[in-house]
């Protein structure tokens, strides 16, 4: 039995009651497990009467019952009420006994009731990118890096740019990973790669817990919004040795000479610049829609998302971080609302297939399930909303 009441712009309070039969069954299960593990003078393990255990463990058992049943009951109530929760609930247990019922309230942020502008009338414009000599030089350096020779490192821990091969120690790798090993490029400047910093300084034989986070709207409901710590061992650490830039390098890549390699690379960079132009047009479109949309968000929810260290991330004040979080959250919800209206979805299988495909590329860094889901969703949405042709920069049809 559950009831929901809106108490803010995008916050609801859910009143839930767990029926006595469910509470009693869980309490019996906890006591049975306790009887198998505790030692009580005069009784054999597994044969300790419940009334004896209650004398010393009643509070502990009740807390276990509450801890295990409340989240499950909330998820069930949220599904029954059709709530689209986007944050972790805050629980307040009003009453609880071993005999039941257990009554509690949960306050949780939900998907806001968004009002979108008539985005069909928005003008989607495009840049006309140009590949410069500097771009070409950087492209050649990237080719050298991509074709670097990998040599094992044993005498030190990983440094920025080293490849760290991790072996998952559990029998099954975490959700989103299909192989027992994964390669991670160590790095201190890559803010997008959640794993890059985690492997910095790790040496062969080191073991640690790799933190893997899933977004609240991850397709697999069992993992959505969860964070798991996957035990791993460092199998290898390898450093990159760059090849010399010259005709021999070009021939190794299947070209006649360095000049031919430059010409082919320029064509490739122009195509990439075109794709970047397309991505920028989509980004500006989303920003324009978000700027004209009404996305009601509670201040407490925004502040919770923007909370960082006391000094502020990047020297930003609390107000600046809060304002930035509000803008980012507005764009996030606008994209999800656009996807709903345009019937764009990403299945869990698509996420797994994309991660598997990326892992099959030699030296490719692993992608977080959350990042893959966002990328696929935005790619699908862009292909449905953004034309491949256009002019300079974003804006509404009336020029605003």
pLDDT digits 0-9 by tens, 105-158: 999 999 999 999 999 888 887 777 789 999 999 999 999 988 989 999 988 999
Q: Average pLDDT in the 354-370 region?
A: 77
* Residue whose entry in the numeric block shows the structure tokens 């003008």: 123
* Spatial distance between the Cα atoms of 303 and 295, rounded to a whole number of angstroms: 15
Both 188 and 252 in a single domain? no
User: How far, in Å, CA of 282 to CA of 379, rounded?
Assistant: 9
Q: Confirm if 162 and 183 have CB atoms less than 8 A apart.
A: no
Dihedral sign, Cα of residue 318, residue 188, residue 194, residue 271: positive
Structure tokens at 341: 């209206």
Cβ pair 108, 47 in contact under 8 A: no
Of the residues 241, 263, 282, the one at which a domain ends: 241
DSSP letter at 315 equals G
Measured CA distances, 379 to 144, 157, 271 (Å): 29, 37, 17
Is the per-residue pLDDT at 324 higher than 80? Answer: yes
Contact 313, 321 (CB under 8 A): yes
Q: According to the model, what pLDDT value does residue 318 have?
A: 80
pLDDT in tens, 74-90: 999 999 999 999 888 99
Count of alpha carbons within 13 angstroms of residue 95, beta-carbon side: 7
Tell me which of 241, 270, 304 is where a domain ends.
241
Residue at a domain's end among 241, 266, 289: 241
Please give the residue range of the domain that contains residue 253.
119-128+246-385
Q: Quick check: is 139 in a domain?
A: no
* CATH number, domain with residue 159: 3.10.50.40
Please indicate, yes or no, if residue 352 is contained in any of the structural domains. Answer: yes
The model carries a pTM of 0.61
Domain shared by 236 and 305, yes or no: no
Q: Which two tokens stand for residue 54?
A: 């209650």
Residue at 140 is within a domain? no
pLDDT at 315: 63
- The number of domains in the chain is 3
The pLDDT, as a whole number, for residue 311 is: 45
Three-state SS at 190: coil
């Amino acid at each position: 039995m559950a009831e929901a009441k809106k108490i803010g712009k995008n916050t609801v309070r859910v009143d839930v009651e767990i029926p006595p039969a469910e509470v009693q069954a869980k309490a019996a299960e906890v006591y049975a497990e306790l009887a198998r593990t505790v030692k009580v003078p005069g009784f054999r393990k597994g044969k300790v009467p419940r009334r004896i255990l209650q004398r010393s463990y009643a509070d502990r058992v009740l807390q276990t019952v509450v801890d295990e049943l409340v989240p499950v009951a909330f998820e069930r109530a949220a599904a029954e009420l059709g709530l689209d929760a986007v944050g972790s609930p805050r629980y307040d247990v009003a009453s609880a006994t071993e005999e039941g019922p257990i009554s509690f309230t949960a306050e949780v942020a939900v998907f806001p009731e968004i009002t979108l502008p008539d985005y069909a009338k928005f003008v989607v414009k495009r840049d006309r990118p140009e590949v410069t000599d500097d771009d070409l030089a950087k492209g050649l350096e990237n080719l050298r890096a991509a074709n670097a020779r990998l040599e094992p490192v044993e005498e030190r821990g990983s440094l920025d740019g080293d490849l760290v091969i991790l072996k998952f120690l559990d029998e099954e790798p975490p959700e989103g990973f299909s192989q027992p090993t994964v390669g991670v490029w160590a790095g201190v400047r890559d803010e997008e790669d959640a794993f890059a910093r985690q492997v910095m300084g790790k040496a062969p034989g080191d073991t640690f817990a790799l933190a893997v986070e899933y977004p609240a709207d991850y397709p697999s409901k069992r993992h959505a919004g969860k964070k798991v710590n996957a035990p791993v061992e460092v199998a290898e650490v390898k450093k990159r040795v760059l090849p010399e830039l010259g005709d021999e390098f070009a021939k190794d890549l299947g070209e006649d000479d360095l000049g031919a390699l430059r010409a082919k690379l320029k064509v490739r960079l122009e195509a990439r610049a075109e794709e970047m132009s397309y991505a920028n047009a989509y980004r500006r479109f989303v920003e324009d829609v978000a700027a004209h949309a009404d996305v009601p968000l509670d201040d407490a929810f925004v502040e919770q998302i923007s909370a960082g260290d006391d000094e502020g991330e990047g020297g930003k004040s609390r107000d600046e971080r809060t304002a930035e979080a509000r803008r980012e959250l507005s764009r996030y919800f606008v994209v999800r609302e656009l996807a709903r209206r345009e019937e764009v979805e990403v299945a869990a299988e698509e996420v797994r297939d994309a991660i598997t495909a990326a892992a099959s590329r030699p030296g490719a860094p692993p992608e977080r399930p959350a990042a893959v889901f966002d990328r696929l969703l935005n790619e699908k949405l862009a292909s449905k909303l953004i034309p491949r042709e256009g002019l300079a920069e974003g804006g509404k049809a009336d020029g605003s």
